Amino acid sequence: MAHATQDTAIRTGRAVRMLIYLVLILFALFYMLPLYVMLVNSVKPLEEITGGGMMNLPQLWTLEPWAKAWSSAQIGVEPTGLSPYFWNSIKMVVPAVAISTILGALNGYVLTKWRFRGDTILFGLMLFACFIPFQIVLIPMARMLGLMGLAGTTWGLVLVHVVYGIGFTTLYFRNYYAVFPTELVRAAQIDGAGFFQIFWRILLPSSGPIAVVSIIWQFTNIWNDFLFGASFAGADSQPMTVALNNLVQASHGVKEYNVHFAGAILAALPTLLVYIVAGRYFVRGLMAGSVKG
């Protein structure tokens, strides 16, 4: 691998390369700047921020803003901190990601290995769902959730995100399974494996890379969603994003920037974590369909 990279890299002079690295490092620093600002200001007392010097390192290091953001800051009318909303988000994201990924995998399996009349049209329609703007479905969706008795509940949000996610997850898995050899499915059929056994024993074990793609994609989208959360959640099912907004937008009292920064990082942490843990596989999975091993 290292050899290949060296051989195929464009040969450049030393000075040019230094310059390129310098520029890249500068870009990287610039790009990291907001994170730096958030981090340093989240561990400062409020006076140090309001006294100017947003870029300075804290004189007095404190985790107080983090603790406050997590457990005692005023969110709306209750001084609960973000923690209950964090768990709301988890309770929404985990089932939504799991269900949409599993359904996407099943759809991809059926659309490629159990072809039927009109399957391409059906797939086209599912893809179409990826391009429907969120705003258009708000009112019909609210009505549907009301009819189903899911209005204002976590499960209502799960349903919304699953419905919206299926188009993407189906696309991922369909394209992945399209290059999965059909002869394997036929061999398994002759061996006596049924519909779900083939899926479970033959396809899924080989689906790691694309499952990671689907999970990361769904996790980030659902975790970061604000519109559906703000529109459909009840008081006790509001996700982290909505709570963060309420924290920052609170109209009374002083603006506690250090707490806001800590809260924002808390809200971003899970997606960050998912990328760090699975990011490598993300790229590999995206490549898997196009490049045959």
Partner 1 sequence: MGFLDIDNTTKSYGAVEVLHNVDISIEEGEFLVLVGPSGCGKSTLLNMIAGLEEISSGEIRIKDRVMNGVHPSKRNIAMVFQSYALYPNMTVGQNITFGLEMHGTPKPEREKAMKEVASLLQIEQLLDRKPGALSGGQRQRVAMGRALVRDPDVFLFDEPLSNLDAKLRVDMRTEIKKLHQKLGTTIVYVTHDQIEAMTLSTRIAVMNGGYVQQLGTPQDIYDTPANIFVATFMGSPAMNVVPARVAVENGKPMARVALHDGTETALPFSQGNMEGWDGKDILLGIRPETITDEDAADRKSSNIAHMTNRIVVTEPAGSDTFVTMTMGGKDVIARMRSDAEVHPGADFTFAVNMEKAVAFDPATEARIAP
21: closest CA among 283, 32, 29?
29
Is 189 an interacting residue with respect to partner 1 (CB under 8 A)?
yes
Q: How far is the CB of 194 from partner 1 (least distance, A)?
A: 8
Rounded to the nearest 10°, the torsion over CA 279, 285, 291, 293 is 100
In the chain the first and final C-alpha atoms are separated, in Å, by 14
Q: Which stretch binds partner 1 (CB under 8 A): 33-41, 132-140, 191-199, 224-232?
A: 191-199
Is 202 an interacting residue with respect to partner 1 (CB under 8 A)?
yes
Q: How far is the CB of 176 from partner 1 (least distance, A)?
A: 14
What does the DSSP 8-state code read for residue 58? Answer: P
* Cβ nearer to partner 1, comparing 118 with 149: 118
Is 120 an interacting residue with respect to partner 1 (CB under 8 A)?
no
* Cβ nearer to partner 1, comparing 56 with 206: 206
Which of 13, 133, 192, 253 is in the footprint of partner 1 by CB under 8 A?
Answer: 192
Q: Which stretch binds partner 1 (CB under 8 A): 4-12, 118-126, 183-191, 236-244?
A: 183-191
Which of 186, 277, 280, 287 is in the footprint of partner 1 by CB under 8 A?
Answer: 186
Q: Can you tell me whether residue 98 is helix, strand or coil? A: helix
Instruction: Using CB under 8 A, count the residues that bind partner 1.
Output: 16
Q: Which stretch binds partner 1 (CB under 8 A): 12-20, 122-130, 158-166, 178-186?
A: 178-186
* Cβ nearer to partner 1, comparing 122 with 204: 204
268: closest CA among 35, 60, 67, 44?
35
Q: Which stretch binds partner 1 (CB under 8 A): 10-18, 157-165, 198-206, 239-247?
A: 198-206
Is 205 an interacting residue with respect to partner 1 (CB under 8 A)?
yes
150 vs 233: CA distance, rounded Å: 10
Report whether 247 contacts 263 (CB < 8 A): yes
Is 183 an interacting residue with respect to partner 1 (CB under 8 A)?
yes
Report whether 191 contacts 269 (CB < 8 A): no
| Number of CB atoms found within 10 A of residue 54's CB | 13
Is 7 an interacting residue with respect to partner 1 (CB under 8 A)?
no
Instruction: Report residue 122 CA to chain centroid gap.
Output: 26
Rounded to the nearest 10°, the torsion over CA 75, 78, 84, 88 is -70
User: How many distinct helices (H) and strands (E) make up the chain?
Assistant: 14, 0
Which chain residues interact with partner 1 by CB under 8 A? 181, 183-184, 186-193, 197, 201-202, 205-206
